[in-house]
Amino acid sequence: MTSKSEDASGDGEGRISRRKLLQYAGEFDIESVHFLKLSNMDLFDISVLRESKNITRLDISHNRLSNIEAIGQLKSITFLNITANQITNIDCLAGSESLEELSAAGNLLSNTERIKCLMGLLSLKQLRLNDNINKLTNPICKMQNYHKSVLQLLPSLIVFDGERVNGRGSELYKMCCELDEQIESLRHSDACPCDNCAAETTDAGRTFGPVAHRPLAEPWIKPGYFAIKEPPVGADESSQAFSELVKDCKRVVDQAALRLERFKRVENTNA
């Protein structure tokens, strides 16, 4: 019986054949393949992709890939997902000038040297190296000032690790970065952050502090605010009086309606 991995790869050794590639792409000619998804197929060899040079969107996530040199031949690629593999080197992407979005979380990229190959890709606007939701990361993500270092290398990025870092909508991200810098500055300060302390100055020249002591936060509402209150004294009497008033009003309305009906009858008779 043929195993699932054998059927997926075509030869049962983590490789995908030309025939299977065309089958998954739904095409008859390998040069006609533009979109291809080969995720979760236990692949470690994608050398056949060298022949499919017109691919623009490629998903090879969740495999066993450590070598993606074949992708370097795909000059038209705009979207690439290599999430959850065993990749340590992406230098082959240095010539992918059309690449706009790269997802590479869950690999073995160790430091910023491993992503310098992306510096010349002016079309690259979205990059993901860390995925907190799916708990996929890279060793580079554990570096101090990880975000800052990557953005210095790739200043043209608009979305980084799922956060909008440039352009419209990036204000919140920048504000959080400034708050992080302030907190980090105070954390490494030897002095106590109080009214008598000198102001802290960061490398960027921004001054933070002195930080005054603040009173402890208090609840917005007082205890027992939502408790069911006992009815005030005399509430039953007021309720009874109101009911009597409603009955009297109804009685007056009924009498008025009766008199109006009698008046109409008399009027009709005289007519």
Summarised one tens digit per residue, pLDDT across range 12-39 is 578 888 898 898 888 888 888 999 999 9
Query: Which tokens hold the place of 169?
Result: 């909508």
Strand 101-103 versus strand 57-59 pairing type: unpaired
Q: What is the mean pLDDT of residues 113-132?
A: 94
Measured CA to CA, the distance from residue 194 to residue 205 in angstroms comes to 21
pLDDT for res 202: 45
pLDDT for res 1: 34
pLDDT for res 233: 57
| Model confidence at 186: pLDDT above 70 | yes
Percent of the chain residues topping a pLDDT of 70: 75
Residue showing tokens 């792409």: 25
pLDDT for res 241: 78
Band (pLDDT 50/70/90 cuts) for residue 3 is very low
Query: Which tokens hold the place of 23?
Result: 């089958």
pLDDT for res 245: 83
pLDDT for res 14: 86
pLDDT for res 71: 94
SS3 207: strand
Total length of the chain: 271
| Model confidence at 66: pLDDT above 90 | yes
| Model confidence at 131: pLDDT above 90 | yes
For residue 192, count CB atoms less than 10 angstroms from its CB and return exposed for 0-12, middle for 13-18, buried for 19 or more: exposed
Of 81, 172, 153, the closest CA to residue 113 belongs to 153
Mean pLDDT of the chain: 81
- Does the pTM exceed 0.75? no
pLDDT in tens, 136-170: 999 999 998 898 899 999 999 999 998 888 877 76
Q: What is the mean pLDDT of residues 200-225?
A: 57
Name the more confident of 201 and 49. 49
| Model confidence at 47: pLDDT above 50 | yes
pLDDT for res 200: 46
